[in-house]
A and B are shown apart, each in its own frame.
Chain A
Amino acid sequence: MAEKKEKDETIVGLKLDSRLLELIAKIQEVELEDFELQASDLEIWFQPGAVAAPVIAPPQKAVAPPAKAKPTQILEAEFVPPVETYPGKVVEVKLGRVNGKSIVIGGESTPAFYTFERPTPHPPVISLDVFDMEVPLPKAVKMHVKDVIGDPAAWAKLAVDKFGADLITIHLISIDPLVKNASPKEAVKTVEAVAQAVDVPLVIGGCGDPAKDADVFQEVCETFAGERFLISSITRDMDVERCAKFIKKNGQAALAFTPMDLNIARELNRRLYDFLPKEDIVMDLTTAALGYGLEYAFTNMERARLAALMGDPELAHPMSSGTTNAWAAREAWLKMAPEWEPRELRGPLWEVVTALTLLLAGVDLFMMMHPAAVKTVKDVIAQLMGGKSGNSESLMEWVTAKI
């Protein structure tokens, strides 16, 4: 078992084997245009915090004991798990393929992984990024996908078969009028190839141009009616009515993307409600990288989830995180002084820590990139869902362990 684990970890490059060391040795230069993802979307909004917190039972003040003789045996105290009930619940959103796999996200009726209250209804899932053309990638990521860059179908297959992707996000970068300005028909072809290569649900990612994205999304939605893709993303500067209508008509789901502000998120959701049922909407509140505003993303998501549980229907949607933004932090990819190296480990760990922080805030769908980061987050989700107990008898041995 341990051997198998180790083997898996070797595959995803977590273990520093000789090949990796060789690769590290070869890396000499820092690529400054190394990586950028939705930088224009990375707006950071500061806002004073105030949010509804769960309603709880009246305080039970422990009464200070009067001075008396020292106890001679353990004085038993009651411990009642502080379980709450919440008026609100996150809606469930189903994504999936006609002749393939489906997943359901959302449905929470407690804060993230408060499993002492209620079990988590559906495990959070991970979508791996696939690009439809060559894009600059951090070296630590590139080394795992270099053979499939430029071939989205092969890339998607690798991501599912080898890296364990629950979904695939196909980023249609080439449709960008400033890049290749590929037509909606060409985009459909790419999606077709990916859809044939894998049977997991797909997330359809645009280029960020509001008009072009709408055109391409419409073509994709209509061509693959009923496939239940997640259309990423619908933003305020798009023709929201038009997009919502073709998403609804063709049985797809919408990813509503807003910068870090709950009021703006509510506003976009309200506009979508005129055309889409709640069960068709996932929201993305913006993910900033660890060290680059992660605290705002964390707090914003935690507030959104608590507000949803407190009965705010406009925020009661599953949350998606563009966790790949972790790589926008220079500490994730930059060659640094020797004490912080190797970056082949630092980078993916940066992605892991970004993801786990947001996992604990309530994210349901992670968009990720590095295979070792994906594996780690999947492992953690499984451990948190599975709820196996640790060995309390032997735990204290850490004190005397000879490491």
Chain B
Amino acid sequence: MSGKEDKGKVGVKELSPIDVYKLLPRTNCKECGEENCMAFATKIVNREVSIEKCKPLLKKEFEKAYKQLKEMLKPAIKEIVVGAGDKTVKIGGKLVMYRHELTYFNPTAIAIDVADEMPEDEIISRIRRVEEFRYEYIGQILKLDMIAVRSTSNDPDKFKATVRKVAENTKLPMILCSLNPNVLEAGLMAAPKARPLLYAATKDNWREMAELALMYGCPLTVSAPNNPKLLKSLAKTLVEYGVEDLVLDPGTFAGDGLADTLNNFTMIRRAACKQGDELLGFPLMGVPMTVWLNSAGLAQEIVKWREAYLAAMLIVRYADILIMHSLDGWALLPDVVLRANVYTDPRKPVAVEPGLKVFGTPDENSPVMFTTNFALTYYTVASDIESAKINAYLLVIDTEGTAVDSGVAGRKLTAEKVAEAIKISGIENKVKHRKIIIPGKAARLSGEIEELSGWQVLVGPRDSSEIPKFLQEKWQNP
């Protein structure tokens, strides 16, 4: 595979630690926490720390080098901050087009809409549901990120009142949506310091929108459905006008036009990442909620289903921010899980620290179980034990981040490892019994484990959600 790297690319990947090192103070002062400047430069190139950690570099005498480094490390896609105060959302900041080239930064932000003609209690309840949406996944909490406030009334006063209502009820960043600058301005007046994302400048209103963005210091979305040339022209115009923070909306078509949508997103991202086209180097917005247009007569579940899979395709194909309408958990769950997947760092296996974990307040008669240190396995098992409020010991075996079944198949999970882990953990001093519950998927190791560890093996369930039932039957009433 080597030797085929892309030669002409503007490049984050070709950047070598030496390039960075040359511009650093080179005093090896260790203020950044690294042993020397070269180690720091390596971390900079890998995007593991920010350049600002080098305090001397921020001094006046290094101003030129600092600026040069900033330019050198600039992502292909500009990072835009939406919102103010505690809860801001960062979008864009992408360094690469393909995930395997480095890592995707700043997960696709998901905004849920409310409209200024919705009854007040509906608006409040939608905001509550967005705020309360949470799903635990491998030790992360998956959440929704923003509220998109749409003016369906086209009435400035109504919009103003609605934006005020939203701002009073949530700290989540907002997207203010209206193509009418007067309406948008009324909304901005209700939350002048909130730095919402404005939606949207078009070929007809770009000037007024630019003025609003400058006056209130807000990022601005540029919209040109299925017209990348116009989108780029508008971006050029707005940049020259002085608006620095743009978001590009190439148009999201469901059904007819889906091919154009994917092509537009892909072409724009490629132009920015591979050709260094700075006018297209802004975050991309997808609007899966366009599926609700012309949906009269269709069952709601079908529309929600379409919205969910359109969002998934856009998460895979370069969207940095999405506006959605459905708030159904079954529809949103696959999208937030997909987002978490695509935005994990491909350079690091998803693993947790091996060792003995204690749940609740176990005593000398409490059950002892084991699992692997693959993060997904561990957190799944841990959450099942926690939610059942079980007092137990869980031994986490180092399987180099593989799951139970693949660990057994690939010899990363062996009886030797289990026996050794039992010994090292000190569990023999904590419980007076000598029984270990092993995952059902590791059943074939049971004989060997008994032999090597001297512990009696109980083969547990194949899925950890069955642990409470298993313990009830086999531990409490043996």
Contact = CB atoms under 8 A, between A and B. Distances in A.
Interface string B322-342: 000100011101110110111
Interface string B363-406: 00000000000101000100000000000000000000111011
Contacts of B177: 399
Given A290-B334, A403-B292, A53 B5 contact: yes
A337 to B, nearest CB: 8
Contacts of B260: 387, 389-390
Given A15-B302, A54-B274, A392-B251, A290 B338 contact: yes
Interface in A40-71: 40, 42-44, 46, 48-62, 65, 68, 70-71
B334 A6 contact: no
A310 B1 CA distance: 10
B349 A32 contact: no
Interface string B129-140: 000000101000
A30 B241 CA distance: 60
Nearest to B343: A295
Q: Is the interface of A mostly helix, strand, loop or mixed?
A: loop
Interface in B240-290: 240-242, 251-263, 266-267, 270-271, 274-279, 287, 289-290
Interface in A244-273: 262
A15 B299 CA distance: 7
A350 B312 CA distance: 11
Contacts of B253: 389-391, 395
Contacts of A290: 334, 337-338, 341
Contacts of B251: 390, 392, 395
Contact of B342 (A77, A295, A356, A403): A295
A310 B325 CA distance: 41
A114 B263 contact: yes
Contact of B263 (A53, A60, A115, A392): A115
B293 A398 contact: yes
Contact of A33 (B99, B203, B229, B462): B462
B4 interface: yes
B313 A360 contact: yes
A223 to B, nearest CB: 32
Contact of B101 (A53, A59, A115, A402): A53
A6 B297 contact: yes
A298 B316 contact: yes
B401 to A, nearest CB: 6
B106 interface: no
Contact of A392 (B117, B225, B334): B225
A172 B97 CA distance: 42
Interface stretch (B147-155, B353-361, B429-437): B147-155
B111 interface: no
B409 A74 contact: no
Nearest to A2: B297
Contact of B257 (A6, A113, A302, A388): A388
B256 A390 contact: yes
Contacts of A374: none
Given A9-B302, A74-B206, A400-B150, A380 B258 contact: yes
Contacts of A48: 346-347
A81 B274 CA distance: 12
Interface string B5-27: 11111100000000000000000
Contact of B334 (A349, A385, A389, A396): A349
Contact of B179 (A340, A346, A396): A396
A121 interface: no
Contact of B8 (A57, A312, A390): A57
Contacts of A71: 237, 240-241
A385 B254 CA distance: 14
Nearest to B298: A6
B309 interface: yes
B115 interface: yes
A61 B276 contact: yes
A33 B441 CA distance: 11
Nearest to B269: A82
Given A77-B232, A331-B337, A395-B290, A44 B406 contact: yes
B43 interface: no
Contact of A302 (B5, B7, B99, B150): B99
Contacts of A341: 329-330
Nearest to A338: B329
Given A77-B235, A345-B301, A353-B309, A40 B409 contact: yes
A343 B274 contact: no
Contacts of A70: 210, 240-242
Interface string A278-301: 000000000000111111101100
A75 B309 contact: no
A395 B227 CA distance: 12
Interface in A287-345: 290-296, 298-299, 302-303, 306-307, 310-312, 330-331, 334, 339-343, 345
A82 B274 contact: yes
Given A82-B274, A340-B329, A383-B255, A399 B150 contact: yes
Interface centre among A50, A73, A311 (most CB of B within 10 A): A50
A353 B334 contact: yes
Contact of B256 (A32, A44, A385, A388): A388
B150 A299 contact: no
Contacts of A44: 374, 401-403, 406
Contact of A59 (B276, B344, B348): B276
Interface in A365-403: 376, 380, 383-392, 394-403
Interface in B112-137: 115, 117, 135, 137
A305 to B, nearest CB: 11
A349 B306 CA distance: 10
A190 interface: no
A398 B292 contact: yes
A43 B241 CA distance: 54
Nearest to B278: A62
Nearest to A39: B405
Given A53-B97, A59-B10, A360-B316, A395 B225 contact: yes
Given A353-B335, A376-B305, A295 B346 contact: yes
B143 interface: no
A255 B359 CA distance: 46
B119 to A, nearest CB: 12
B42 interface: no
Given A14-B301, A302-B99, A53 B6 contact: yes
A303 B10 CA distance: 20
B425 interface: no
Contact of A56 (B266, B275, B342): B275
Given A290-B337, A398-B289, A399-B150, A49 B346 contact: yes
Contacts of A6: 297-299, 302
Contacts of B347: 48-49
Given A291-B340, A353-B335, A383-B255, 17 more contacts: A44-B374, A49-B102, A50-B1, A51-B98, A51-B101, A56-B8, A59-B275, A71-B240, A71-B241, A73-B237, A114-B266, A295-B346, A296-B346, A299-B100, A302-B99, A356-B312, A390-B251
11 contacts: A32-B461, A53-B98, A79-B228, A295-B342, A349-B309, A356-B309, A356-B312, A360-B316, A380-B258, A395-B252, A399-B150
- Which 3 residue pairs spanning A and B have beta carbons closest together? A390-B257, A390-B253, A49-B100
